[in-house]
Amino acid sequence: MGVEIGQKVAERFQRYVRYDTQSAEDSESYPSTEKQKDLGKLLVDELKQLGLEDATIDQYGYVTATLTANTKRIVPTIGLIAHMDTSPDVSGTNVKPYVHKNYAGQDIVLTGDTKQIIRLSECPELKEQLGNDLITSDGTTLLGADDKSGVAEIMEALDYLTKRPEVEHGTIKVAFTPDEEVGMGVEHFDVSKFGAKFAYTMDGGAPSEIENETFCADSVTITFLGVSMHPGFAKGKLVNAVKLASEFLEKLPKNTDSPETTEEREGYVHPHTIQGGIEETIVKFIVRDFEFEGLKRREESLRALAEETVRNHPRSDFTFEVKESYRNMKYVLDKHPEVVENAMRAARMAGLQPKLHRIRGGTDGARLCYMGLPTPNLGSGTQNPHSKIEWVSIQDMKKATELIVNLVKVWAEANRV
């Protein structure tokens, strides 16, 4: 073949990670940091250079563009999505990408901070990378493979498709989003304007992993209400909400149902904040379960424990508030099995053995599923995200790029009449 798939993906990737696009929690603005738009503007320029004339960045920082169909067949419009921001947990300022060629199985000591070591013993994924070329930061910052590898792969796939017009495809919509890492990635995303029928986020680990399941997630706020009284004259009158909350927390299961005691398919309830005083003490939870019924069961058991607590204390009370966070995307994806099946086919065509994965968390795709856009998550190659020992291999980024190209072909082919 004339043009190799993913030829310039590493170059692109290293260009993008030099842009500091760290998002921020508790920001008043959208996007949460203005600097994310700098990468957005670069991407608009590059998309236009590729011939995607309608490439644009809007007031929220969403970059969108269209690769027009080159087939007369009726093919559903497919979306490709990656996020531009990096985690607020680790600095993304002055990222210096470093290529470790021909990985030979050693521990990798990062040059800018030799305390940062990627150890083979702690990172089994490294065993798959013998002979490959790995990219890391210098150890003083994160790398930003999450999710600039996804951005680079989508750009590179578009580059290939525009140079190879004989590859038939339907309309492809592209979106690069801000603020994913602060849970706001699709806050202002206009699904109907985007115009895709199905989409894929490129924001996972190994390219063979197809993520089609997330938790069902809610947050629960329980407010215990006591009665305040001068402690000198409080006998038989004061009811201490601090103690109510503590009594309640003691009732929680000790060896099960928490993040620190569960894995795989198990759900949990997780008290993460407690604040207040005599009159009012608030306990905040996140609740997670892969099944909707399981989620509701966990919430009801929290309510029952709170009821049990106040029952023993006349004049005490509590309020109980549930807020929906996101739902398991599988409920939506199962109604459109071709979305995941086509990704599996595309992975096999790239010589990979696809594995379905569930995420003990959420994705922007999970939200998009419930906004009317079924969107599983595909592997972009990122390992050790949100850390100074983050890495990605060039070969994985090439595979992921190839997978995207295959996916586009599969959709055009599956709809051949």
Sign of the torsion angle spanned by Cα atoms 202, 208, 209, 212: positive
Q: Least distance in Å: CB of 83 to Zn ion?
A: 6
Establish if 85 lies at the interface with Zn ion (CB under 5 A): no
Q: Least distance in Å: CB of 204 to Zn ion?
A: 8
Query: 376: closest CA among 360, 392, 358, 393?
Result: 358
Establish if 147 lies at the interface with Zn ion (CB under 5 A): yes
**Active-site hit among 20, 46, 85, 218:** 85
Sign of the torsion angle spanned by Cα atoms 45, 47, 52, 56: negative
Q: Least distance in Å: CB of 292 to Zn ion?
A: 25
Task: Give, as ranges, the residues between 281 and 320 that touch Zn ion (CB under 5 A).
Answer: none
Candidates 132-140, 142-150, 170-178, 343-351 — which segment interacts with Zn ion by CB under 5 A?
Answer: 142-150
Candidates 113-121, 139-147, 164-172, 301-309 — which segment interacts with Zn ion by CB under 5 A?
Answer: 139-147
H/E element, 46: helix 36-49
Q: Does residue 264 carry a catalytic annotation?
A: no
d(CA 217, CA 243): 28
Evaluate whether 140 touches 388 at the Cβ level (below 8 Å): yes
Select 51 or 183, whichever has its Cβ closest to Zn ion.
183
The single residue among 85, 203, 396, 402 that binds Zn ion, judged by CB under 5 A, is 203
Q: Least distance in Å: CB of 203 to Zn ion?
A: 4
Token readout for 68 is 């027009």
Establish if 211 lies at the interface with Zn ion (CB under 5 A): no
Q: Does residue 260 carry a catalytic annotation?
A: no
Per-residue interface string for the shown chain with Zn ion, residues 6-45, x marking contact by CB under 5 A: ----------------------------------------
End-to-end CA distance of the chain: 27
Query: 21: closest CA among 6, 5, 1, 35?
Result: 35
Q: Least distance in Å: CB of 389 to Zn ion?
A: 16
The total number of residues shown for the chain amounts to: 417
Candidates 102-110, 132-140, 197-205, 296-304 — which segment interacts with Zn ion by CB under 5 A?
Answer: 197-205
Select 84 or 222, whichever has its Cβ closest to Zn ion.
84
Let me know if 325 is exposed, middle or buried by CB neighbors in 10 A (0-12, 13-18, 19+).
middle
Establish if 146 lies at the interface with Zn ion (CB under 5 A): yes
**Active-site hit among 156, 168, 179, 180:** 180
Candidates 71-79, 203-211, 328-336, 405-413 — which segment interacts with Zn ion by CB under 5 A?
Answer: 203-211
51: left (phi over 0), alpha (psi -120 to 50) or beta: left
Answer whether the bond into residue 147 is a cis peptide, omega within 30°.
Answer: yes
Let me know if 274 is exposed, middle or buried by CB neighbors in 10 A (0-12, 13-18, 19+).
middle
Select 84 or 245, whichever has its Cβ closest to Zn ion.
84
Candidates 32-40, 144-152, 249-257, 343-351 — which segment interacts with Zn ion by CB under 5 A?
Answer: 144-152
Q: Least distance in Å: CB of 218 to Zn ion?
A: 22
Select 146 or 257, whichever has its Cβ closest to Zn ion.
146
* DSSP code for 28: S
Residues 6+ apart with CB under 8 A from 7: 156
- Which residues are the active-site residues? 85, 180
Interface residues with Zn ion (CB under 5 A) are 146-147, 203
